[in-house]
């Protein structure tokens, strides 16, 4: 895609946070979560940052207090220090307790992320350079299949045309799922390693050639949610977006009917006359 396209791809992750935002705060934080897993990830992110901040303030507070309190101008002199059993136990036990406090919620979330049982809909996502192929394997839309590729106009990428709101994150055929339903995504790849990443869902799973991986999400809010291949799958990997439309059950049923009608027309034998 040329040098301009390469630069645009490399800069995608710098631009993705504000562009993907569903809420204003996502410019400086994670995207607003729309699944239980994403909400847990968001809570852990905040919790861990608070722990890091407390440790930072504690360590640097003691350090600066020691420097100021024991400076030479106040008559401080060098002193001989000896080991103190209580202090050594404390600085061993306290970090262990901190790590356990961080590991407990993280482990619960990771276990929940891996529970792909009893889905309402199963979709197979296959990574290609540089597009996604989707096959609906289970549910009302079973049998639907299509390719999904970047739809940003070339004049926006290589020319001076104004950039759209979903620049480099829009596709020609988005994934459509109903709100409030558990969606299992089965992942593989056709060529190199890709990664299916939709931050608002809390989903990021590698798609590896010759292997089957899976993930799941249950979106609690209708809307358009965007992501990208988060693996270095080639020089143009930044041009491999993901777009998911979460709609009502009625709109989903209408979309399924429309897709199956299109597939029936495409598969119908040509009129010999």
By residue count, the chain amounts to 273
* Contact (CB, 8 A) for 12 and 157: no
- Name the CATH code of domain 9-21+116-267 (choices 1.10.274.10, 3.30.450.20, 2.30.30.100, 2.60.40.420): 2.60.40.420
pTM greater than 0.85 (yes/no): no
Residue 200's contacts (CB-CB under 8 Å, 6 or more residues apart) are: 20, 22, 31, 32, 33, 34, 35, 38, 225, 227
Quote helix, strand, coil % in the chain, to nearest 5.
Answer: 45, 25, 35
Those residues whose C-beta lies under 8 Å from the C-beta of residue 145, and which sit 6 or more positions away, are: 133, 134, 135, 136, 263
Looking at the DSSP bridge assignments, the partners of residue 134 are 125, 146
Where exactly are the structural domains of the chain?
Answer: 9-21+116-267
Q: pLDDT tens track of the chain, all 273 residues? A: 443 443 334 333 333 433 443 455 567 788 899 999 999 999 999 999 999 999 999 999 999 998 898 887 887 777 777 778 888 899 899 999 999 999 999 999 999 999 999 999 999 999 999 999 999 999 888 999 999 999 999 889 888 889 888 999 999 999 999 999 999 999 999 999 999 999 999 999 999 999 999 999 999 999 999 999 999 988 888 899 999 999 999 999 999 999 999 888 887 775 555
214 forms beta bridges with 186
């Amino acid at each position: 895609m040329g040098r301009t396209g390469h630069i645009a791809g490399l800069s995608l992750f710098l631009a993705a946070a504000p562009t993907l935002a569903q809420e204003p705060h996502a410019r400086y934080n994670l995207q607003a979560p729309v699944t239980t897993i994403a909400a847990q990830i968001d809570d852990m992110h905040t919790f861990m940052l608070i722990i890091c901040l407390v440790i930072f303030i504690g360590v640097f507070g003691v350090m600066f207090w020691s420097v100021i309190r024991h400076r030479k101008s106040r008559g401080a002199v060098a002193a001989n220090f000896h080991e103190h059993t209580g202090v050594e136990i404390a600085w061993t036990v306290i970090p262990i307790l901190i790590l356990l406090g961080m590991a407990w919620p993280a482990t619960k979330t990771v276990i929940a992320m891996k529970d792909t049982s009893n889905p309402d809909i199963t979709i197979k996502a296959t990574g290609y350079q540089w597009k996604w192929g989707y096959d609906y394997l289970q549910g009302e839309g079973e049998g639907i299949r299509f390719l999904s590729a970047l739809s940003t106009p070339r004049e926006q990428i290589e020319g001076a045309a104004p950039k759209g709101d979903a620049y480099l994150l829009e596709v020609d055929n988005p994934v459509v799922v109903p709100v409030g339903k558990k969606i299992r995504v089965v992942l593989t790849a056709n060529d190199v390693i890709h990664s299916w990443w939709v931050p608002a869902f809390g989903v990021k799973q590698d798609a590896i050639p010759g292997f089957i991986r899976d993930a799941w999400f249950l979106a609690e809010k209708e809307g358009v949610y965007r992501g990208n291949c988060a693996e270095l799958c080639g020089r143009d990997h930044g041009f491999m977006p993901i777009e998911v439309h979460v709609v009502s059950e009625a709109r989903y049923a209408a979309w399924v009917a429309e897709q199956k009608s299109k597939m029936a027309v495409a598969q119908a034998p040509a009129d010999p006359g």
